[in-house]
Amino acid sequence: KNIVILISGRGSNMQAIVDAQVPGGRIAAVIANRADAGGLAWAAERGIATAVLDHKQFAGREAFDAALVALIDGYAPDLVVLAGFMRILTAGFVNHYANRLINIHPSLLPSFTGLHTHERALAEGVKFAGCTVHFVTAELDHGPIIAQAAVPVLDDDTPDALAARVLKEEHRLYPQAVADFVAGRLLIDGNRVKRSG
Ligand code: GRF
């Protein structure tokens, strides 16, 4: 199965997915919306095709997303993986990749959608935080949940300390979810994802 990974930054989740060498999965390309995304060089060094599509070169979201679809589809993806891709995607984009577009979010959804999740979790005083892998739908940080991992919030936590604890789980959870998708183990049933096998 061809996997295209979209990043905007360091791409540590992308690296975890690449390093996992998912059986039956081939990383067809890593695409960033910023030329300075650190993960691009890492991928290129490993012989993975990379591309940059700078959103600032486009008049609006629709135009950017249309160009992004054309670029991605050139790699004939079976799965498109958002890994720290910091752009809100249009409904047209999301619908084009329905049921083959996944994201990781650093909270236990549906709590703390959007940005600054760790700061907000600490401000709310929750005792558990975590991360969620989900299919992407038009509503931001919603869509059928594939997998979650929880971590404790400690009394002396800072946003950075909590983020690091969650990120460690992201690096375990996301490759597993990609492997489950590639192996055909995920069954979407309404808003629920069931795992077979
Ligand atoms: C991760 O915490 C991910 O959950 C969030 O953005 C961060 C990206 O980190 N969406 P990286 O680029 O994968 O290192």
Quickly list DSSP for 111-138. Answer: SS-SS-HHHHHHHHT-SEEEEEEEE--S
Asked whether 106 lines ligand 1 (CB < 6 A), one says yes
Which tokens in the block code for residue 95?
Answer: 């619908």
pLDDT (tens digit, 9 = 90+) per residue, 18-54?
Answer: 999 999 999 999 999 999 999 999 999 999 999 999 9
Task: Name the percent of the chain lying above pLDDT 90.
Answer: 98
Query: At which residue do the structure tokens 């486009």 appear?
Result: 58
Residue 12 labeled ligand binder: yes
Tokens 């891709």 identify what position? 85
| Amino acid code (one letter) for 26 | R
Structure pTM? 0.97
Mean pLDDT of the chain: 97
- For tokens 């979407």, name the residue: 188
Q: Per residue in 151-195, pLDDT tens?
A: 999 999 999 999 999 999 999 999 999 999 999 999 999 999 999
Query: Residue for token digits 């002396």?
Result: 156
Mutate-to-test residue for ligand 1 from 30, 160, 170, highest number of ligand atoms within 8 A of CB: 170
175 close to ligand 1 (CB < 6 Angstrom): no
Residue 19 phi, psi (nearest 5) = -65, -25
The CB-side HSE value for 154 (13 A sphere, CA atoms) comes to 11
From the list 147, 148, 145, 108, the residue with the least C-alpha distance to 128 is: 108
ipTM of the complex: 0.97
9 C-beta closer than 6 A to ligand 1: yes
Which two three-digit tokens encode residue 66? 């249309």
Each residue of 93-110: pLDDT tens digit?
A: 999 999 999 999 999 999
Q: What is the pLDDT of residue 197?
A: 73
Kindly list the domain boundaries of the chain, sorted by start residue.
2-195
Per-residue pLDDT tens for 55-104? 999 999 999 999 999 999 999 999 999 999 999 999 999 999 999 999 99
DSSP, collapsed to helix, strand or coil, labels residue 27 as strand
CA distance 82 to 132: 12
Q: Does residue 5 have a pLDDT over 90?
A: yes
Query: What is the structure's pLDDT at 10?
Result: 97
Cβ atoms < 10 Å from Cβ of 46:
13
83 Cα nearest atom in ligand 1: 13
Q: Cβ–Cβ contacts within 10 Å for residue 63, how many?
A: 13
CATH class of 2-195: alpha beta
Report the alpha-carbon distance of residue 164 to residue 174 in Å, rounded: 15
105 CA closest ligand 1 atom index: 4
Q: What φ, ψ does residue 175 adopt, rounded to 5°?
A: -60, -35
